[in-house]
Amino acid sequence: MNTLKPFTPTELAKLVDKRNLHLLIHGKVYAVHEFVHEHPGGDIVLLGEAGKDATKAWDDIEHSDEAKELMKRYLAESFPEPTELGKLSTQSDSKPQALLVFAVALVLAAALLAKML
């Protein structure tokens, strides 16, 4: 039984700061404000996608099974209809997207270096 209340694009678009940060990923809204300081790519990554459809950004990074499992913890709401997705911006400003790529590359490089030592 789905007890999640639906979010509208207007409501989602307002949830963009560190204290109340929500992302839409694959038609589900996640409240990630409690995770923002733990995100391996840094808070700028999440803030850059806040309040909009972050599915492309999520899919562009090959998240681990652990990350996918962790996301279940932050599931907050459902989204009404797939057609409503068109009302959300999916275009990221190139600066946050570039920072995302840089942050992920930096984390991967650090992990690789740690394994080598």
**Mean pLDDT across 97-117:** 69
Q: From CA 78, how far away is CA 8, in angstroms rounded?
A: 9
**Mean pLDDT across 35-64:** 88
Integer distance in angstroms from the first to the last C-alpha of the chain? Answer: 49
Q: Where residue 102 sits, what CATH number does that domain have?
A: 3.10.120.10
Provide the pLDDT for residue 105: 67
Q: Is residue 85 part of a domain?
A: yes
**Mean pLDDT across 71-92:** 62
Residue 17, SS3?
strand
Question: How many domains does the structure of the chain reveal?
Answer: 1
Q: Is residue 2 part of a domain?
A: no
Which of residues 105 and 48 earns the better pLDDT score? 48
Residue 53, SS3?
strand
Domain that holds residue 56: 9-116
Q: Is residue 36 part of a domain?
A: yes
**Mean pLDDT across 7-29:** 87
Does the structure show a pLDDT above 50 at 27? yes
pLDDT bucket at 11, cuts 50 / 70 / 90: confident
Residue matched to tokens 């570039």: 98
